[in-house]
Chains A and B, each alone.
Chain A
Amino acid sequence: MIYTPSILAILLFSVIVITVLAISVFFARQSGSSKGYFAAGGTIPWSVNGIAFAGDYLSAASFLGICGMIAVAGYDGFLYSIGYLAGWIVALFVVAEPLKRLGKYTFADALDSKYNYRGIRLMAGISTLVVSIFYLIPQMVGAGALVTPLLGFPHYVGVIMVGSIVIFIVATAGMKSTTYVQFIKGALLIVFSTILVFAILNKGLSLKPGETYHDFIQIEATVEDNSVTAIADTSWTVTSQQQTKAGTFVQLEKSGVRRWFSLETAGNNSYLNEALSITKTTDGSVLYNGEPKEKEAFFQVGHLSRIIVDGKEIDKTGPLGPFKFLSTLEESEVVLFNSASFSNGQDSVSLWYQSPISGKKIMRPGLKFKVDKGSTITSKMDFVSLMLALFFGTSALPHVLIRYYTVPSPRDARKSTILAIVAIGFFYILTMYIGLGAMVNGVLDVQSSNMSAPLLAKAFGIFLFAIISAIAFATVLGTVSGLIVAAAGAVAHDLAASLFPSKDISDKARVVIGKTSAISVGVIAIFLGIIFKGMNVSFLVGWAFSIAASANFPAIIMMLFWKKTTAKGIVASVGTGMLSALLIILLSPSMFERYGLPADSAFWALDNPAIISIPISFAALIIGSLLTQKQKTS
């Protein structure tokens, strides 16, 4: 899409970033020790920690990814919200207090405190690093997506910017600053998202989303043998036709501008409906809807084609209550934009065409996840696998685990988890309205769903857009900071202790190692954030959950609840869980597309590994533990 930056947005953005840096510098003086750097000295009040939990968790994936996915795939995007929230039940009821009672700074410390075995520290440290890096990728992708409309910079500049600011934050301050940044940001995110939802409901639903919304052209056509032979509007002339798997597309020309249309048939009549297109020509130029970029002819989309209230078809509803909004949408018809790509002579064409779909289908599963018509056993398995990963992954995420060590007692750990559930649960209900609001208010960027929520805010005024974008950017900053501290903790405490067991690493040296690791992980995250540009951030986070659920969750659960668990069993579980999840992801259809290969040439049709890798991890732990019982008793 073509974005024009706004001065107000830039100003507000700058204020937020400067505030974040100021907090960081302020707390830097209080985090000289390793306890201060990695666990904020265990002094954070539970109420602050609870909202900081929410701030950590409501990352780019939640705010940008889920809202974006709901905006393009309806209810299927909301399934992420449900899975993410349900995961907190596992954290609260099973993991929070027992883990807190074990004390320590990291997940590996907790495991090691019971077994005192070097291999555990090494394996758990590696797993923390891998999960943190996988979780960092979507945050960086989100950062890149944000700065483009906000500041007018390309994607990679946003990624480098976030990476650099965060490296500065974590290399100077540590856990206390990230906690307070997350607290402020978590609170602001919930407040302004609520305001946005009020604005959506107050506006209601309308066939014309806004005064400036593009009027998509429809032209009656005569079709013979699947080919357009004449069109009703003679100011246009047919210049090309393409038959693809997705349908028939026709190029028309008027006043020297060529645009693409999709051919639709209704009864005995045929129509050409205007589409959006990006054409790359052989001379290297890129045309947006047949015109150069500066003509700004590549429109935002998303509208209703029919609104039905109590059985009557109307043009607009006026303000709606929260339940009426959802039920009206379910009765109505929405126009989504599907993508297709093909070659037209020497030109390469990417096209997004209108696809009307009933509200009933939008408000139930099946648009993104193949569980309905055309589904296979594997596609259903893929869905179950994702829901498993979301349920069991939350409590095994390093940056969630580390937050249990920042409060003074197990009771505080429990209270902050409950506060987090309330705040996060409320926010996830809001995502449904923000996502659907974006779907029908003409704000979508067909090239990337990630910006749906901030662009929706823009429809309600530049101030709301600026503040929401700035908060979203702070969201990324805070989450990335927390993740990098967790990863740095894993390197400084676990890997260093495993690799140099004979050396007594001083407290000061540990912080230096942690900060050096933070910088290195930050640089890796910048690199990966640029590579994964354009993928939905919630989908990417699903992978981090899968790895965490496979590598860490079985070890945590069995350590707490199975007395026969041995150190070697845990090492086997973390290792096989992590490697099997990684293997399935790296050879999945989505990764094959990233490699530039056809998705259907992937080794398997499964994108989400948890349904296979979690049982493998449990099996490895049980077998490993049973085989090493003698060593345990001796």
Chain B
Amino acid sequence: MDHGPAVEHEDDPASEYKTRLGVKLFIIYGIIYAGFVIINTFIPTFMETRIIFGLNLAVTYGFGLILLAIVLGLVYNSVCTKKEEELKNTGTDGGVS
């Protein structure tokens, strides 16, 4: 049983481009997150290493992951919006980088 869409919206020619970009950024972040989990799990004392501003690796890496999520999110939004506008103006289908 289909209830129909909650909101109607137009076809998005940039969707394939955005999906590929999203997956790429997800993989980059996923690898960095995995590195964080691996160090915490197998060499937690390494996290005591001083890195910057007197902060240890644990805090630097942790804050870094939060800031990286924000930065990647903003980059993703900016690139996607640009592509959407570009395709809207040219009326073509989304190419894939």
A-side residues, CB < 8 A to B, are 35, 38-39, 42, 75, 78-79, 81-82, 85-86, 88-90, 92-94, 97-98, 101-105, 109, 112-113, 116, 118, 121, 323-324, 326-327, 330, 360, 363-366, 369, 371-372, 380, 383-384, 387, 391, 405, 407-411, 414-415, 417-418, 421-422, 425, 428-429, 432, 493, 497, 501, 561
Contacts and interface: CB of A to CB of B under 8 A. Distances in A.
A364 B72 contact: no
A104 B6 contact: yes
Q: Which 4 A-B pairs rank lowest in CB-CB distance, beginning with the nearest?
A: A103-B5, A327-B54, A42-B7, A93-B22
Contacts of A561: 23
B41 A383 contact: yes
Q: Would you call the interface of chain B mostly helix, strand, loop, or mixed? A: helix
Contacts of B25: 89, 93
Contact of A94 (B26, B58, B66): B26
16 contacts: A42-B6, A82-B36, A85-B66, A86-B29, A89-B29, A93-B76, A102-B5, A104-B3, A104-B4, A104-B5, A112-B2, A113-B2, A363-B58, A365-B44, A365-B47, A384-B37
Contact of A326 (B15, B55, B81): B55
Contact of A75 (B7, B22, B58): B58
Nearest to B36: A82
B66 A414 contact: no
A428 B73 contact: no
Contact of B56 (A112, A113, A364): A364
Nearest to B46: A364
Interface of B: 1-9, 12, 15, 18-19, 22-23, 25-26, 29-30, 33, 36-37, 40-42, 44-45, 47-48, 53-56, 58-59, 62-63, 65-67, 69-70, 72-74, 76-77, 80-81, 84
Nearest to A383: B41
Contact of A86 (B55, B58, B69, B76): B69
The listed residue with most A CB atoms (<10 A of its CB), out of B8, B42, B58, is B58
Q: Of residues B23, B36, B55, B66, which shows the largest number of chain A Cβ atoms within 10 Å of its Cβ?
A: B66
Among A81, A92, A102, A366, the one with the most B-chain Cβ atoms within 10 Å of its Cβ is: A92
Contacts of B2: 109, 112-113, 116
Contact of B58 (A324, A364, A429, A501): A364
A599 to B, nearest CB: 22
Q: Output the residue of B8, B18, B40 with the most chain A CB within 10 A.
A: B40
A103 B65 CA distance: 31
Contact of A97 (B3, B18, B45, B63): B18
B85 to A, nearest CB: 11
B55 A323 contact: yes
Contact of A79 (B18, B40, B63, B81): B40
A410 B8 CA distance: 11
A586 B8 CA distance: 42
A323 B48 CA distance: 15
A327 B59 CA distance: 10
B80 A414 contact: yes
A35 B6 CA distance: 7
Contacts of B33: 86, 89, 391
Contacts of A113: 2
Given A89-B26, A326-B55, A429 B66 contact: yes
Contacts of A109: 2-3
Given A42-B6, A103-B6, A425-B66, 5 more contacts: A86-B69, A89-B29, A94-B23, A97-B15, A112-B1
A97 B16 CA distance: 11
Contact of A421 (B19, B26, B70): B70
Contact of A366 (B19, B44, B66): B44
B31 to A, nearest CB: 12
B13 to A, nearest CB: 12
A499 B47 CA distance: 53
A97 B23 CA distance: 12
Contacts of B26: 89-90, 93-94
Contacts of A92: 22, 73, 76
